[in-house]
Amino acid sequence: MFSPSCTGSCLFLYQAQPPYIVDAQTSNIPNGKRHSWKTKYCSRISNIDDLNFPVSKVLPFLTKSQSLSISPAYMDGSNNVILDKTNPSNQQINSTTIGRWVQSCSNVQEVKKMHAVVIRRMKDPVAYVNNNLISIYAEFGEVVAARRVFDSMLDRNVVSWTAMLNGYQRHGLGDEAVMLFLEFINCGFRGNAQTYVCVLNLCGRTYNHELGRQLHASAVKNQVSNYILDCTILHFYARCDDLDSSFEVFDRMQNRDLVAWTTMITACSQHRRGHEALVLLSQMLSEGLDPNEFTICSVLNVCGEEKELRFGEQLHATIIKKAYDVDVYVGTALVDLYAKCGIIEKSRTIFDRMKRKNAITWNSMIAGYARNNLGDGAIGLFRMMKRLRVSSNNSTMVSILKACGLLRALSTGKEAHAQIFKNFEPSNIFVGSTLVWLYCKCGDYASASKVLQNLPDKDVVSWTAMISGCARLGHEQEALEYLKEMLGEGVEPNPFTYSSALKACAKLESVREGKLIHSSINKTPSLSNVFVGSALVQMYSKCGHLSDAAQVFDSMPERNLVSWKAMIVAYAKNGRCGEALKLMYRMQAECIEVDDYILSTVLTACGDFKWEGKSSSEHCLQT
């Protein structure tokens, strides 16, 4: 599809004179120092979405650095000086000078003035000047103006197309970018590394795995490669949940620096592949690379998710030694680590010692309290947050609502709801689902129903919160009505939805409704879920359909204590004491302890029932 228009390790900015060809590794600085652009480009990484390598971010940094020998007359930021340079009485102004002036503009007003100068002084601007105009307009968000310049060009080159594509993708105009890219191909242009980078970033943002994969194949076929392109491909596959392809690209990279390693570690962390993230860290250290604070944040997140407290504590010691603990993001990651590992006191100690905190820090601490069922701590911290006028967000409110639900603190929950209604978007699906859960937890069915009905987009979480709440609050018929409404809107129930609905059927002793739900479950992966199986056994047992309950029980691929208990108790209460005792022995044979409730139920229901020459009490004593 493409053939490379440039090769090697140079980062091609514009098709112009040598000052605009910037070396990818270093750039000349007037004072004689040299800086690695990779070091400059290391952005703070806490999410795979932050690991982006677009031309729009790398190139403006390079072009506006002191590596370009631009005259002090227009580097002083004075627009008057620029306009003086355009005076006809001055020396001859060429396209290179005007192109440099365009690139030096600090706001869109200056760009428009320089554009007017270009129109007035140059009858047919060269591609280099127009490319600069497209790039700078896009940088300031004037995508329409950039497209006007692009459409007016008679001699577009690869840089022109790439600049326009980059403008679209950086401002989230994916459809326009794809159409322009197809036009680019149809016009017979050959893409360079920056074209691939731009379109791959677009594919990552839109999760267009197929197009991105084809672009990767084209880049390999045409031998178009540089460091930024490799990192962009890593990021693209990670965003599209294709971590195996990311690993293949990473393993083939000849020069893997800290940014590449951190990209992969963060991707593994985000995709719940914590063990691989820790293996990558070990390999990185063995190659002589020390982690920076960005790498450490990702690894701490892995330690928290995997409950790797010992490794996390070792990393904490390294953090103190390297003085990374002063970094607000590292501090926040430590707060989150200890909270997830249940060491809430240490988490709070680190929180209190932090000199700088951001909204994520507060959210992590509040969520830590809620996660560890310490609702009082979460609510107390929330009140402190309000007293100190720290801005909260949706994540804060979700954690507070969970804490209120744990404490059955309805009044505080309503206070938080009022704040959400005043300061946030009350229709947010995560906040709305948690509000439904809170009101159900506190027994306020009417408020829960009202919140659910006001949600414009209801997902499986919000529906399940309502259905389980109704079943728990004694509104079983309403729970089944909500399930029907959910299915009518095309939302696929999850195992928790089915379990809650089946509990409602059991309380109503409605075997007809239960069988309808069972037939729906048979068409989904939820059939093999142990909680769904246990709920089916309980439903059929409560409705007196022991043969159906036994059939479900025997077909379960996995059984837990609830399923064993439901089946044994059902046999005992229905006078089938022999089957109950047999199941008790089977339960023991599978190394599951028979608890006191099962023993007492069998003794009460079966009395002195004789089986294999022994009474029920003797059998129970043996177990």
Question: How would you class 49 by CB atoms within 10 Å of its CB: exposed for 0-12, middle for 13-18, buried for 19 or more?
Answer: middle
| Tens of pLDDT, residues 90-138 | 445 666 666 676 766 777 777 777 777 777 766 666 677 777 777 777 7
What is the band of 603 on the pLDDT scale with cuts at 50, 70, 90? confident
Identify whether 400 is part of a domain: no
- Give the pLDDT score at 2: 35
**Of 66 and 604, more confident:** 604
Above 90 in pLDDT, residue 343? Answer: yes
Write out pLDDT tens, residues 481-527. Answer: 999 999 999 999 999 999 999 999 999 999 999 999 999 999 999 98
Look at residue 331 in the predicted model and tell me its pLDDT: 92
The larger pLDDT score, comparing residue 561 to residue 606, is at: 561
> Residue 591, exposed/middle/buried by CB under 10 A (0-12, 13-18, 19+)?
exposed
Asked if the model's pLDDT at residue 323 lies above 80, the reply is no
Write down which residue in 319, 339, 356 finishes a domain.
Answer: 356
C-alpha–C-alpha distance, residues 520 and 559, integer Å: 21
What would the mean pLDDT of 335-348 be, rounded to a whole number?
93
Residue of higher predicted confidence among 596 and 462: 462
> What are the backbone angles phi and psi of residue 287, rounded to the nearest 5°?
-90, 10
Residue 95 lies in a domain: no
Coil, strand or helix: which one is 11?
Answer: strand
Q: Which residues of 164-199 are buried (b: 16+ CB within 10 A; e: fewer)?
A: bbbbbbbbebeebbbebbeebeeeebbbbbbbbbbb
Residue 314 lies in a domain: yes
pTM for the predicted model, two decimal places: 0.63
pLDDT at 79 over 70: no
Residue 238 has a pLDDT of 86
Does a structural domain hold residue 342? yes
Is pLDDT of 620 > 60?
A: no
Residue 81: count of CB within 10 angstroms of its CB: 15
**Burial class of residue 218, CB neighbours in 10 A (0-12, 13-18, 19+):** middle
End of a domain among 332, 356, 380?
A: 356
Give residue 362's pLDDT band: very low, low, confident or very high (50, 70, 90): very high
Across residues 294-321, what is the average pLDDT? 88
Q: Residues 164-212: pLDDT tens digits? A: 887 887 777 877 777 877 777 777 776 778 888 888 888 888 788 888 8
What is the mean predicted confidence (pLDDT) over 138-150? 78
- The tokens for 426 are 């009350």
Q: Which pair of tokens denotes residue 285?
A: 């250290």
* pLDDT above 60: residue 541: yes
Is residue 146 situated within a structural domain?
Answer: no
pLDDT bucket at 300, cuts 50 / 70 / 90: very high
Q: What is the pLDDT of residue 97?
A: 67
Residues 533-544 as b/e (b if ≥16 CB within 10 A, e otherwise) read bbbbbbbbbbbe
Instruction: Please spell the DSSP secondary structure of 444-487, one letter per residue.
Output: -HHHHHHHHHH-SS--HHHHHHHHHHHHHHT-HHHHHHHHHHHH
pLDDT at 213: 86
Task: Give the pLDDT confidence score for residue 26 in this predicted structure.
Answer: 33
150-154: long-range pairs with CB below 8 Å, 24+: 153/127, 154/124
Q: Which residues contact 434 (CB under 8 A, 6 or more apart)?
A: 397, 398, 401, 402, 405, 465
- Is 24 a residue whose pLDDT tops 80? no
Closest CA to 11 of 37, 42, 39, 44: 37
> How many domains are there within the chain?
2
Strands 21-23, 614-615: pairing kind: unpaired
pLDDT for position 67 = 28
Residue 235 lies in a domain: no
Which residues on neighbouring strands pair with residue 615, listed in sequence order?
610
- 25-29, 47-51, 114-118: range with lowest mean pLDDT: 25-29
Instruction: Flag the least confident range among 6-15, 270-279, 385-394.
Output: 6-15
pLDDT over 70 percentage in the chain: 78
Name the domain boundary from 356, 386, 409: 356
CATH number at residue 281: 1.25.40
pLDDT of residue 591: 82
Whole-number mean pLDDT of the chain?
Answer: 77
- Which residues, other chains included, contact 432 with Cβ-Cβ below 8 Å and sequence gap of 6+? 426, 451, 452, 454, 455, 462
Q: Considering the domain boundaries, does residue 497 fall inside one?
A: no
**Which comes out higher in pLDDT, residue 50 or 219?**
219
Print the domain residue range for 583.
559-623
Q: Is residue 613 part of a domain?
A: yes
| pLDDT at residue 61 tops 50 | no
Taking the alpha carbons at both ends of the chain, their separation in whole angstroms is 73
Cβ count within 10 A of residue 596 = 7
